[in-house]
Amino acid sequence: MKFSEEFEQRFAEMVRQYPTKRSALVPTLLYAQDEIGFLSDEVIAEIAVRLDLTELEVRNVISYYSMLTTQPRGKFNVQVCTNISCMVRGGEEILEHCSKNLGIGHKGTTPDGLFSLEEVECIGACSWAPAAQVNYDFHENLTPDKIDRVLEAYRKSGKQ
Ligand code: FES
């Protein structure tokens, strides 16, 4: 398993900084996912060895965090929150609207590989509900029109 030089530098730095190797697990998974696109069996096995963990321990952590995935996703992963604050302010309508706009449902990926869609629990943006996260960017106080504009901007940037 070969990662980039940048990944190796970050990994070496994290292992130096954290008191135990295990503490570097989540950031290591995120960096690996950013680089490879998803956490394949090969990536999981490699990270488990590097951090002195079992593959099961690594998989248990992956299954806990919605931002980590063992399946390939679209270039832009649209995560719409429908938890309580977002729900009372129209989060479910935003999810439905995204589903119509993209033509895919929960955990679906568009045929061109550009978008994935996911319904998620609270993403910590309750004060600005309803909210969604696309990769690492937050979009808040959403309306159907606003999410259409957001998706269109990603669509354009993804085709460049
Ligand atoms: S409930 Fe949606 S961001 Fe917290």
11-53 pLDDT per residue, tens? 999 999 999 999 999 999 999 999 998 999 999 999 999 999 9
Distance 146 CA to ligand 1 centre (A): 17
Distance CA 109, CA 74 (A): 6
Q: Quick one: which atom of ligand 1 is closest to the CA of 122?
A: 4
Contact 11, 24 (CB under 8 A): yes
Distance 89 CA to ligand 1 centre (A): 10
Q: Quick one: which atom of ligand 1 is closest to the CA of 84?
A: 1
Quick one: CA dihedral 64, 67, 70, 73, positive or negative? positive
Residues of the chain with pLDDT under 50: none
Distance CA 119, CA 17 (A): 34
Contact 137, 76 (CB under 8 A): no
> Measuring from each residue's beta carbon to the nearest atom of ligand 1, which residues come in under 6 Å?
81, 83-86, 122-126, 129, 131
Q: What is the bridge-based pairing of β-strands 132-134 and 137-139?
A: antiparallel
Q: What is the pLDDT of residue 160?
A: 64
Distance 32 CA to ligand 1 centre (A): 27
Pocket test for ligand 1, best of 79, 83, 142 (most atoms within 8 A of CB): 83
Q: What is the pLDDT of residue 153?
A: 97
